[in-house]
Amino acid sequence: MDEGTAGAMRAAAFGLVTAVRTDPVDMAGGGPISGLSGPRSAGPALSDRYRCGHNGHVKLYRDHAVVLRTHKLGEADRIIGLLTRHHGRVRAVAKGVRRTTSRLGARVEPFMHVDIQLHRGRNLDVVTQVEMVGAYAPAIAPDYELFTTGTAIVEAAERFTEIEREPATQQYHLALGALHALAARRHAPGLVLDSYLLRSLAAAGYAPSFMDCARCGSPGPHRAFNAQAGGAVCAGCRPHGSPAPSAAAFALLAALLTGDWEAAEEADGATRREAGGIVAAYAQWHMERQVRSLQLVERA
């Protein structure tokens, strides 16, 4: 008995199989399946995960996702890295997408927001359908600054969701919001990235303090910042060699963390660069591995 069969039987035992799938899986066309199209507001019910197919037991699920990255596989396929709304980070095979006749290929590019149907595999899932929700790649990919910023965002999103299939809904929404803001050129790309990194770190449990001392809690503002300590540090707690950012940089960092864009947009170029350096140092410390793409981002 394979994993899918066992899962379906467990689901059946708990009365979870409520839908019998009869519509064919349209791999090449990627058009909407009746009754399944359109954004879903609620999470997938368990019955969505365990469906009995017309040719045996298959395990299909559908979710919204951001495409993080793609790799070539064989002659015509790609492996797609996805951050889904309800199923965490998932890797899936998209078959035939590198053929010129594939209508699916353009939808599974990095930065795209898609409504995707996947077949659960032993190792990799298989993409069976894709509908476009937000076509951000055409806005982001051709512009060098947007592309390097977008790449830093999807790379960081991957690092923030280290364990595959572990639900990370907050990380999904933060990555999606950042890519949307980037594609719409709503704010300066450097500010979008820094706000995204700070908020994602906070969501991961590493909220920095930009006011009170991160070590002893004494009320701020303080003059020094230490990534290892967790943010602003008072004169008594300040580890040797901690940098002393400007008051304006501290204010910008606090604005980016809370999403106060009105205050953030007022910061001048020098302050943005200073804050960007602090965010990169803080993010790199917490991710323990260097986010390579951060080095490519030039903050205006």
Smallest distance, Å, CB 167 to Zn ion?
Answer: 36
Residue 110 or 245 having the CB closest to Zn ion: 245
- DSSP label of 146: H
Q: Are 225 and 275 in contact (CB under 8 A)?
A: no
Q: Is 260 left (phi over 0), alpha (psi -120 to 50) or beta?
A: beta
**How far is residue 30's CA from residue 14's CA, in Å, rounded to a whole number?**
32
Residue 213 or 297 having the CB closest to Zn ion: 213
Lookup: tokens for 254:
């606090």
Taking CB under 5 A as the rule, which mask of x and - marks residues 46-85 in contact with Zn ion? ----------------------------------------
Residue 15 or 219 having the CB closest to Zn ion: 219
Smallest distance, Å, CB 225 to Zn ion?
Answer: 12
Among all chains, which residue has been given the structure tokens 């790309």? 189
Taking CB under 5 A as the rule, which mask of x and - marks residues 194-233 in contact with Zn ion? -------------------x-xx-x---------------
The residue type at 198: L
* Burial grade of 247 (CB within 10 A; 0-12, 13-18, 19 or more): exposed
Smallest distance, Å, CB 87 to Zn ion?
Answer: 41
**DSSP H or E run through 175:** helix 169-183
Smallest distance, Å, CB 211 to Zn ion?
Answer: 12
Taking CB under 5 A as the rule, which mask of x and - marks residues 227-266 in contact with Zn ion? -------x--x-----------------------------
Smallest distance, Å, CB 285 to Zn ion?
Answer: 18
**DSSP H or E run through 277:** helix 269-287
Q: Residue count at the site for Zn ion (CB under 5 A)?
A: 6
Neighbours of 137 (CB within 10 A): 22
Tell me which residues touch Zn ion (CB under 5 A): 213, 215-216, 218, 234, 237
